[in-house]
Amino acid sequence: MPGPGHILIICTANICRSPMAAALLRHFLAGQDEPLRSLKVVSAGIAARDNSPPSDYAVAAMKKVSIDLTGETSRTLTQELLDGALAVFCMTESHRAMIQLQFPRVPRHLYLFRQFLPPPVDPEVDDPYGGPLSVYEACRDNLVEAVPSIVQFLKTIVPPAPPTPT
């Protein structure tokens, strides 16, 4: 279980979009200053089975950008994951609506993954499941496009690191 203040990425089965998005966000945050660099990023699914590996095409699409998903496993979304999240990013409006309907405590920071991109842009990320590798690559690219805007948003809600004494 991640510690309090993690970033939570949500999709349906947690085997395509959300593990790709979480890995991309972790990769990007690794290049940021503290405290962003130390943020834990996890993913879960509204209808996930625990411990399923990512889809083969999700692994292949991410390998093409030098990110390894092979150690990832799916997990079911729980109230505990939501309660500990600093921010939650969903792939679609229906994921956000399901959280709002199914969970008694809804996170204050509940958004769509592409919500912070300037218009006109579709804020939803289509599910590539069942499609060819090219559909997974397009999904990955849609996720990549959104990551800088998410990092900019996180900078507004994550308290800055305390100054280093000199």
List 16, 17, 75, 90, catalytic entry: 17
Active-site residue, 11 included: yes
75-79 contacts at long range (C-beta below 8 A, 24 or more positions apart): 75/14, 75/42, 75/43, 75/44, 75/45, 75/48, 75/50, 75/51, 76/14, 76/44, 76/45, 76/48, 76/49, 76/50, 77/10, 77/44, 77/45, 77/46, 77/48, 78/44, 79/103, 79/104, 79/105
Q: How far apart are CA 50 and CA 44, in angstroms?
A: 9
Task: Kindly list the distances between the CA atom of residue 59 and the CA atoms of 18, 27, 67, 130, in Å, as whole numbers in the listed order.
Answer: 12, 15, 8, 14
List 90, 108, 122, 127, catalytic entry: 127
Active-site residue, 83 included: no
**Residue 87: strand, helix, or coil:** strand
Active-site residue, 17 included: yes
Cross-strand partners of 87: 7
List 11, 16, 90, 139, catalytic entry: 11
**Active-site amino acid positions:** 11, 17, 127
